[in-house]
């Protein structure tokens, strides 16, 4: 159940970032998490792929990077960091 909640938060954050960047869809992204969160990266990816159907994330390549607590660049427990995001730009409107 913990992975479902984490996946939902990641989906929401990536969709918001796509909107800020003017991306029609995400093709790939990497998220970093703290090992103390106890997440299974494989399960989080599964739930992102499942819940991301029909969204800007559908078909995106997802990578979850797990840092040991205290390791340089490690997010705080309970936080996640969107490290990379690749995608396709929105088509400009023709007037």
Residue 66's DSSP bridge partners are 33
Determine the angle formed by the axes of helices 41-51 and 2-21, rounding to 10 degrees: 60
Q: Over the stretch 9-30, which tens digit does the pLDDT of each residue have?
A: 999 999 999 999 999 999 999 9
- CATH code at 2-89: 3.30.2320.50
Work out the pLDDT band at 93, boundaries 50, 70, 90: low
Buried b (16+ CB within 10 A) or exposed e, 16-52: ebbeeeebebbeebebbbbeebebeeeebbebbeeeb
The structural domains of the chain, with segments of one domain joined by +, span: 2-89
- Residue 15 burial class via C-beta count within 10 angstroms: exposed 0-12, middle 13-18, buried 19 and up: middle
Instruction: Flag whether pLDDT at 1 surpasses 90.
Output: no
69: three-class secondary structure by DSSP: coil
**Angle (nearest 5°) at CA 59 between 43 and 61:** 60
Q: Over the stretch 31-89, which tens digit does the pLDDT of each residue have?
A: 999 999 999 999 999 999 999 999 999 999 999 999 999 999 999 999 999 999 999 99
């Amino acid at each position: 159940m913990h992975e479902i909640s984490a996946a939902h938060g990641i989906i929401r954050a990536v969709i918001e970032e796509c909107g800020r960047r003017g991306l029609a869809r995400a093709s790939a992204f990497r998220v970093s998490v703290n090992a103390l969160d106890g997440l299974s990266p494989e399960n989080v990816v599964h739930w992102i792929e499942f819940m991301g159907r029909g969204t800007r994330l559908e078909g995106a390549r997802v990578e979850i990077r797990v840092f040991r607590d205290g390791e340089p660049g490690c997010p705080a427990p309970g936080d996640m960091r969107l490290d990379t995001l690749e995608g396709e730009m929105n088509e400009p409107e023709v007037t």
